[in-house]
Structures are given as structure tokens and as C-alpha cells.
């Protein structure tokens, strides 16, 4: 299979879907002439023209509302926000418009749109540009929430998101855009709501999404040298969540650690803990532990920023705690 960057896999997914379906179009800040703030939309304006690749003003509420209306009218918009921190400005259209329209119209109007862009922290972007907001969107009925962690997943999941008849919040990772990996050519989709076991194991289940998956895998590889065989699972889609894969793993390993970059209070991991406690309690041999971002605004200082987010060492410590080995 060809090897490409995460950003190139996203670009390929959009290009293929725009070629396949003329209803698909892209809009957002700098997606056209500048080829995207992170070059995810490189070359799309030249191929599809300004009617299908639209540079917008810096007005997230406005152009997201335009996309909701276009989707209701039968088109399939892809909205790029330069960072998901800016999606806060469009929350009314996403939460009160896109998510509720099918229900409030009695099934008359669907909103098949994708809201995509980078989320989470990068490097020294400070408190207002380093937030993990996936838990906000997971809280809203009517939205699907997807967070790919590899180039192959980025392509397969984005193609499925574009084809989905529901509004999909598709959160990428800025620090993964340059990551390389094998990506299948041609028609390649991954169903939404299906997790993947990225590393099989028998001693403990480690659940992590987006770039935290790679932190979890690093920890698992280091733990192997200490005789610990960790199974690492990437949910890939946070809503709907593939609870069956998570439950089967925990029933096998009898222990779980959940890793996420976001804040602990009301985080995605808290929901997963609730599911595991309710449906796999009798299989658990230790309390479920969570490794999360610090409950503070993200510091700008490089050293403090590093301390604010999970790393392999913290994940290893959590795993050893549930194994009663530390």
C-alpha cells in the first residue's frame, strides 16, 4: 500500500468523495487559495473550482449555518474550522441546528454535513488554542463524533463521515498531520461506530483515542519489557461508541486504563468507565483508572505544557497500579 501523511489521507478522502458525488463541497477559512491552514485541502480548488471549494470570512457561526441550510436542501457540505477551538463560535448552529433538525422536523430534513478540523493541543499554543472539546460534542444527541489516529483511519473514516446522512463532528489532530502510514488505495471506508484493537494483549485493556493512542502504544511497548501484555484499543468513533469491543476486551483482561488528552471532569473517559462498570463489573479485578489532561487551562510554558498532558510514563504507572505491581 502507498505510504502517505495523515493530511494527505484526509485530502485523498475529500478528493475521492468530491469526484464521486457532485453534491459534496468544501467551505471554510483558507481552504481554497491557501490550500488549507494545514494543507489538508491542497489542490482541491484547482480541481473543483470556486463553486465547490469556498473560502469564507472569519465567521464560524455564519458559514456553519450556511452549511446546515445547504445540507437541508440536499447538498453534502464539509465544513473546515481552522481549529476546533473556533468551533465554539458555531455551537448554536451545530447543537441547535444540525443536531436537532431531523428530530424537530419530524424526519423531513436531515443534515448530512461534516464539521472537521484539528482539535486538542499542539505545541505552545496556550489555553485558548489547545482544548480537547470532543466531550462537548459527544454530549449532544443527533451528532456523531469521530477522531482518527492514523492515516488509514483518517481516510476510511472521513469517507464514511461524508457519506453519512447525519451531522458528523470529525476531529483531527494537528500534531498527527505529518504522521506517515500505509493507506489503502481506491474505495476504502471504515464504518462509523467500530473500534479497533491496535495491539492485542491479555493482562490489561488500555483505551485511547486520537494522538493519545500513540502514547498508549508507547507505554504498552515499554511495559512488554516488564512482562506486562497490554491490549490497546482505539474507539475511533466516540459516538456512537463500540461498547461491545471494549466490553469483550475488559472481560478478557479484567482490568482497564483509559487515556485521554481532555479534562477529567465529565470527560469521554468518564462515560466509558460508566459503561464498563455497569456492564462488566463482575469481570473487573481492579478499579478502572483514568489518565487525563490536567484540570487547568493549558499552560504556554513548554515544560508546564508537557506536564499538563498524559505521557507514556503516566500510562505505565496507571497500568502497574491496576495490576498491583506498583
Q: Just list the catalytic residues.
A: 60, 129
Pairing verdict, β 180-182 and 230-234: unpaired
Identify the three-state secondary structure at position 192: coil
**Which long-range contacts does 276-280 make (Cβ < 8 Å, 24+ apart)?**
276/246, 276/247, 276/250, 279/243, 279/247, 280/247, 280/250, 280/251
Q: Based on the number of CB atoms within 10 Å of its own CB, is 175 exposed (0-12), middle (13-18) or buried (19 or more)?
A: middle
Closest CA to 247 of 199, 207, 287: 207
CB crowding 237-253: b at 16 or more within 10 Å, else e: bbbebbbebbbebbeeb
- Tell me how far apart the alpha carbons of residues 137 and 139 are, in angstroms, rounded to a whole number: 5
Beta bridge partners of 59: none
For 91-156, give the DSSP string: HIIIIIIITTHHHHTTTS-----EEEEEES--SS--GGG----HHHHHTSTT-EEE---SHHHHHH
| Cβ pair 299, 305 in contact under 8 A | yes
240: preceding bond cis by omega (within 30 degrees): yes
Amino acid at each position: 500500500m502507498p505510504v502517505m501523511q495523515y493530511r494527505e489521507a484526509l485530502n485523498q478522502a475529500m478528493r475521492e468523495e468530491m469526484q464521486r458525488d457532485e453534491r459534496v463541497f468544501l467551505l471554510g477559512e483558507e481552504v481554497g487559495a491557501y490550500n488549507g491552514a494545514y494543507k489538508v485541502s491542497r489542490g482541491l480548488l484547482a480541481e473543483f473550482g470556486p463553486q465547490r471549494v469556498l473560502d469564507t470570512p472569519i465567521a464560524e457561526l455564519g458559514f456553519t449555518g450556511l452549511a446546515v441550510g445547504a445540507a437541508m436542501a440536499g447538498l453534502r457540505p464539509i465544513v473546515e474550522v481552522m481549529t476546533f477551538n473556533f468551533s465554539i463560535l458555531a455551537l448554536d448552529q451545530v447543537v441547535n441546528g444540525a443536531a436537532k433538525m431531523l428530530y424537530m422536523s419530524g424526519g423531513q430534513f436531515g443534515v448530512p454535513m461534516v464539521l472537521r478540523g484539528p482539535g486538542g493541543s499542539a505545541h505552545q499554543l496556550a489555553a485558548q488554542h489547545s482544548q480537547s472539546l470532543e466531550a462537548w460534542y459527544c454530549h449532544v444527541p443527533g451528532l456523531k463524533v469521530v477522531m482518527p489516529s492514523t492515516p488509514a483511519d483518517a481516510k476510511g473514516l472521513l469517507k464514511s463521515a461524508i457519506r453519512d446522512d447525519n451531522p458528523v463532528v470529525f476531529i483531527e489532530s494537528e500534531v498527527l498531520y505529518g504522521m506517515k502510514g500505509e493507506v489503502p488505495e481506491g474505495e476504502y471506508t471504515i464504518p462509523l461506530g467500530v473500534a479497533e484493537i491496535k495491539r492485542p494483549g491479555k493482562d490489561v485493556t488500555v483505551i485511547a483515542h486520537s494522538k493519545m493512542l500513540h502514547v498508549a502504544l508507547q507505554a504498552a511497548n515499554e511495559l512488554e519489557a516488564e512482562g506486562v501484555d497490554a491490549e490497546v484499543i482505539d474507539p475511533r468513533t466516540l459516538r456512537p461508541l463500540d461498547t461491545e469491543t471494549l466490553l469483550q476486551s475488559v472481560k478478557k483482561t479484567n482490568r482497564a486504563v483509559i487515556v485521554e488528552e481532555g479534562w477529567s471532569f465529565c470527560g469521554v473517559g468518564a462515560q466509558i468507565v460508566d459503561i464498563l462498570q455497569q456492564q462488566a463489573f463482575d469481570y473487573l479485578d481492579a478499579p478502572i483508572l483514568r489518565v487525563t489532561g490536567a484540570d487547568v487551562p493549558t499552560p504556554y510554558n513548554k515544560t508546564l505544557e508537557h506536564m499538563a498532558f498524559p505521557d507514556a510514563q503516566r500510562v505505565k504507572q496507571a497500568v502497574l497500579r491496576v495490576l498491583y505491581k506498583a
